[in-house]
Every structure is written in C-alpha cells, then in structure tokens.
Chain A
Amino acid sequence: MGRLLNTILIGVSGGSIYSLMALALVLVWRSTRVVNFAQAGQAILSTYIGYVVITHTNNYWIAFPVALLAGALAGALIDILMVRTLMKRAHSGPVAGIAPVIATLGLLGLIRAVVGMIWGGDLRQFKLPVSNHGFTFGHNTIPFAPINLLIVMTTVVVMLIFSLIFQRTNLGLSLRASAYQPEIARLAGIRVDLTRTIGWAFAGAAGAVAGMLVTPTNYLSPNSLDLLLVSGFVAAVIGGLESLVGAAVGGLILGISLALVLEYISSSLAFPVAFVVLIAVLLFKPSGLIGAKRTRHA
C-alpha cells in the first residue's frame, strides 16, 4: 500500500510538469490554432536565462520571475515576427496546412542551436530552491519532497490563474473568440493580432515555469526539455487539446501511469507505454478523455 501511494505521489509530481507543458501547448492552440513545437525551445531559453540569473545572484526566487518574463517576451516576439507572417501567407498548396508546424519546428532547431552556441552542450545544475529530501513521518520517508510539493502547488496556481483569465475575463473571451473565428472577432472590434500576441506571451511564460520547476531535480542542457515537449503533447492530447483543465488532468494521468509502469513493470517501457496511451486516446477517444465539443479534424 505504501509503495502504491509513493508511486502515485511521484506520478503526481512528474505529471504536474507535463501539465504545465500541456498548458502552454493548449494556450497557443486555443489562441492561434497552431501547435507550437518551439515551446520546448522557448522554455529552455527561458530556463537558461534563469540559470544566468542564479549564477549571478545565487537566488532561485529572483531568477524565477526573470525567467517568466523572458519566456513571455520570447513568446510575444515569436508571434510578432513569425506567426503574423504565417497567418497572412500560405493559404493554398500542399504545404499550407502544415506550414505553421514546420515553421515552429525550424524555430525549435534555431533556438536550440543558439542556446548551444552561447552556453555549449555540457550539462549544468541548478541549485535546489527547496529541499530534495522526502518528507518524513516518524520513521518513514516518502519519495515526495518539498520540491515536489512546490511543483504541484505552482502548477495548481498557474492552472487556476489561466482558467480564471480564460473563462471569466474579457481578455480570455477575446483570446477564445480570436482563436475560434478571427474574422468575427475583428468585426466585434477585438484587436486580434494583439490578443494573439498576448496568448503567445502567456504560453511562453507557462513553458518557462515548467522549465524552471523541472530543472533543479534534473539537469540543464540544450536538449533536456525535448522529452518534456513530447510528454506535454501527449498530456495535452489525453486532455483534449481544447481544455486547460484537460491539460492538467492529462498531465496527471500520464504522470501517474508512467510512474506505475516504471515501478511495477519495467523502466525501459516508459516510452512505449506513453506512445501506446497516445495512440489509444487518439483512436478511441479523439476528443480527449475529458471530452470537448469539437472533433479533431481542423
């Protein structure tokens, strides 16, 4: 029983990170109808900037908001420089539908190369903001540590903030309207381009949070968030790409499933399991386990 509980706790912690990445992907999807593969690139860039701040100030908590800002700025810049062009061009031809995908892919490679050029490929370490030692209850130490609690709590806060923004504010309404029907939004007086830029800024910030949270217990290198991007995508798909709550739940489901597989079956099956879950959800419950109103054909 204890072992199961521990495994689930680990799964929740890991799953929270997936949720954050999924959140970033869903944000961009809902505000732009583009799946941003460069998300991992933005996140890693923000994390490196956080790293620089930490090395200079030796303080994680100063680095955190700086990284967030960097992520938001990067997201906004990408939208202004690249996405606007994409939206205007390429409306026909075989590449048109996938042009945004390929462009964000190119962007991912670009950011990774730049990061590699500036900082090199060696693995670096963050100082832990809070302890990595599991909580102790009397004689027992569980694998859930303060850092894991921080991760889960931050994820919950981020989710709440974004949910509130999306569902209860005019900004959120503008974001949704601009994503669903940009023309109608324009005719309603919404500044669609500006709104979209804000959406990308939010997503960039979310990715930065994910990067800053996951790196202390891991390591930092230009490729260290790649697997996270894929996991985030799987989590987003499980949750149904339309829903922020779905992203959260999807991440948890993925995190817990992976933890269970790793613990009870075998550690080498992590990827195949994640992949099979992905395919299974896409085949049998295309609108995600949470369910959304639209189908996946757009």
Chain B
Amino acid sequence: MDIINLKEYFKKSNTIANYKALCAILKIKVMAGDSKKAQIKEMERYFRYHKEGNKFIIDEIYSEILPKIDHRKDGNNVTEYTKIIENLILDLLVQGGNNKQGFGRVFLSKNQLFKEFHMINDNYVYCKRRILKLSKFMNINKETVEEWYDLNDDMLERNLQQALNSLENKSLISWDKKLTVVEAIPLAEIKKGGTEIVKRRYIDQYDEEQIDYKYRADDEIQLNYREANDKEDAFILKTEKDIMNELGCDSKQKIIKFGMWETFKNKVDDIVLKELNLAFYYKSYKILFNEKHISEAIDDIYGQCELVEDEKISSKYLLNLDIMDRTIKNAEKRHENAIEEKNKIIGKMKNDIKGQKN
C-alpha cells in the first residue's frame, strides 16, 4: 500500500472518484467480496475517510499506523507459521547481507525466500512453468493445477508479507518490493571492439534451454545485483508492454496461460541486454536492517545469537507441515462452498421447474 503516494495526492485534493481510483493511488489490486472488505479494513489503519456516493473523501492520514484489531477467538492475527517465518527471516538477516555501510541490505526474490524457508519444495518453481505437462503427468485437470498455483502462491506471499510487516512494525527492518537488475560487468580491461556482452544459449540436463552471459574479449564478466534506477525501471516497463502487445496479450497472467512466458521473457531480456547492458531482472524483496538490533531480537527469542542448526531445521520442517495443512484446509473450504453453491443452484432449478408446471 503506497501511503506516500496517497499523501502526495492528499496535498492536492481529498476527493477520490471511486474505489478503483483509490486502489490506483495506493497501488494495490482491485478486489471484490470479502477480500475487498478486508482490504478496506486494512486501509482504515492508515487513514480516516467518509463516503459520498461512490466517492471516497479522505479526512485524515494518520501519522502512525493504527494497530490491527483482531476479532478472532485466539485474539492473535498472526498465524503460527507467520511467527516462524518472522524468526527465520531474522535468522537469515543475521547470517548474511550485512555490509560495511553500517546497515544490512538483502535482495531476495519471492521464490528464493519461499525455498529458503521450506515453504515450497524444489519441484514447485520448475513445475509452475510447465503447468500443462504437470497436469498431464499428475492426471489432474489443468484448471485445478492453475488454480492451485494462483491461490497458494498468493497465500504464501501474503504470509511472507505479513511477517515482513510485523518485523517492520517492530522497527527491526524496512522492506519494499523492488525491481532488481543484474548488471553484466566485464572484468577484463576494455579492448577496442571487444566490449560487447554476448548471450549464450545451451541445453541443460533437463533438455531445457538455459542462458548465460559472456564477455567477448575473454569470457570474464561479473554479475552485479542492484536496485533498478527510475530510468531502467521505465525502460523495462515500456519494453514489457511493447512485447506484450506484440504477443497479443494484455497481462502477464495471459502470457503464462497461453504458454508464451519464455518467448516473452527472452524477447524482453534480449532488448534489455542490448540497450541497458543488463543481463536480467526480477522483482525482489529489498530488506534493510540494523544487524545489532536483529541480533538482539534473536537473542530475546532464543537466548543466543543465531538459531542453532537443529532448531532451524525443525522450524522449517514445522513451517512446511503447517503450510501443507493450510492448503488442504483451504481446498476443503472451497470444496464445501462449491457443494453448497451447487445444491442452491439445483434447488433453484427445481423451484423454477415447479413454478413453470404450476
């Protein structure tokens, strides 16, 4: 939720045309039903508003976010495994990412974090790009596989963000989702006519096409990971949209659905490499922290500076079990709701037929 953007908007006007426009300002997804209710509830922690028809009139943007009020029985809005994720994040931060600038900084993709914390296994990401084949191999309806990934990916990311928010709320970290770019830097001295980064495609052990990057002069390049600047961000955005249009799609979801993700990615990456000298890019979580405070927080939890290996393994194992359990419970709910819905439809149809006979 981009409250800074809302604050900027608020300087000019306190009236927002409708819910959709509000979402655009806050840079959040437009939702429906219960998700929308939950989202609006969450917004109410950041600002006070009243409604005039469809319009949202912002009365005040709070200087401090209001705490979450939870009405559930256990009075704890943080699921058990969100707490485990929090501890694993702290442990990950204390182990790496610190630099000599007096603060720590890590860039990690969603999937890297999922994998590191055992929220998914090794098959997850690989199979996600091959849904049709996975559906055939497992003999499961393609729509069910797609739905499984959509819903569970969202759930896992929500849990991860919940844990990050909780740590941010304790002022232990500051996080944001940023575009990370990987610069290809030639290590060798730049020679005349030999400054080009060359992309090489090859087939790996799984018969999959892979790509690596070489410096034409002597093969030595270094990949430097950093946050994209505004210019790069804008260029990548424009290139993605151009290629999306070329492929006749209007969203990344459609590109994946039509099995064109690799074509899309290759085309965009080629242009980005040629124009910006960036090997590739991805969305990642940028986490800033102070190592001293993180160590103290871990010390408070465990009475020592780092999670001992056994504890870490058992935490990850527990998290994995919890997540599996949650996916099953959610599927059960969907199944029960669908049966209820189906019975309603059948009941309505029966009534309609009766009505027609009478």
Do A and B pair up? The answer is no
